Amino acid sequence: MAFKQELDLYLQFVKLEKGLTKNSVVSYKNDLERYFRYLTTETKIGDLAGVSLSHIEDFLNFLVDEELLSASSLARNISSIRGFHEFAVVEGITKANPAELVELPKKASKLPEVLDRDEIEAILDTPDLTTNAGIRDKAILETLYGTGMRVSELTGLEQDRLIFEIGFIRVIGKGNKERLVPVGEIAQDAISHYTEHVRPQFFNPEKAHKAKNKVFLSMRGSALSRMSIWNIVQKASEKAKIEKNVYPHIFRHSFATHLLEGGADLRAVQEMLGHSSILTTEIYTHVDRSFLHQVHKEFHPRA
């Protein structure tokens, strides 16, 4: 693993010199390993000298967007990252501390903004459908808004999970939990058009083992990363001249908000999102699939 030597030195420091408990050391280790994995896979950074404040902020926003952490866990992650970079400077491993000014992401401290229907329409209309990339990007944006799925669920989506004959997508969510999510005809058409006409052109036999059966591919044939989806969303929102802070997860919030504003049953929306909460139970959130499909078709703006 990249940064393994630096991590080992830091964990030894917090254990022996700061006297942290075994559980605390394990928490620091888990936090920092995830941080380093992100730096390695999403930003391609191979050494600490290349890490900037924006990289750290992007990582924290990624944690918020993916709903991976509670507020207290996110605060601990910030503490872990700050402590590590301060240690790296003191020990002469690197010259600068990019984490010195890092703050709790604004999205984590307040309810996230939601795009209204006009803003959604403007974003969904931005891809250039005369290009293969535009056709793919259109399918991605329609899927994000049409299903409310998380970015990790979108990048992990495989072709055999598209069950359009009954109007559903089978989504594998957090904790490997599976759920069926209704998908409207507009999103279905966008995905089908992409998979039929564009995906075969993107498919690269040499990268088939990496892309596996993933629905959304890069033009070189590899599976799209979370950062790729982020860039597609950013490009579309800029082209649509949206002034709000637009990021992939805002489509999920907008999906749920627009359904509820239209009168959809809260239990049905919770089921579609795959949410689990102390405020709900499996019995309370269990909804018949035919009812889910009916609710989605009746209340989603693009069903």
Distance CA 163, CA 177 (A): 17
d(CA 150, CA 298): 22
Task: Please confirm, yes or no, whether 197 is among the known catalytic residues.
Answer: no
Report residue 169: phi and psi, to 5°.
Answer: -120, 135
Q: Point out the catalytic residue in the list 210, 284, 286, 297.
A: 284
170 carries an active-site annotation: no
- Any alpha helices (H) in the chain, and if so which ranges? 4-16, 22-42, 53-65, 71-90, 106-109, 117-124, 132-147, 151-155, 185-197, 199-202, 208-211, 226-239, 249-261, 266-273, 282-285, 289-299
Cα 132 from Cα 130, distance rounded (Å):
7
Q: Is 289 known to be catalytic? A: no
Active-site residue (options: 136, 150, 179, 300): 150
Closest CA to 119 of 225, 213, 242: 242
Q: Which of 55, 85, 179, 252 is catalytic?
A: 252
Task: For strands 162-163 and 168-172, give the pairing.
Answer: antiparallel
- The CB-based long-range contact list for 265-273 (8 Å cut-off, 24+ gap) reads 265/295, 268/292, 268/295, 268/296, 269/295, 271/179, 272/147, 272/148, 272/179, 272/181, 272/182, 272/296, 273/148
- Cα distances from 269 to residues 162, 228, 277, 293, 297, in angstroms, run 20, 27, 13, 11, 12
The C-alpha atoms of residue 197 and residue 138 are separated, in whole angstroms, by 13
Q: Is 199 a catalytic residue?
A: no
Catalytic residue from among 107, 267, 275, 289 = 275
Token pair of 31, please?
Answer: 């936090």
The answer to whether residue 38 is catalytic is no
Question: Is 179 considered catalytic here?
Answer: no
Candidates 29, 37, 76, 174; catalytic one: 174
Q: How far apart are CA 109 and CA 249, in angstroms?
A: 15
Question: Hey, which residues are catalytic here?
Answer: 150, 174, 249, 252, 275, 284
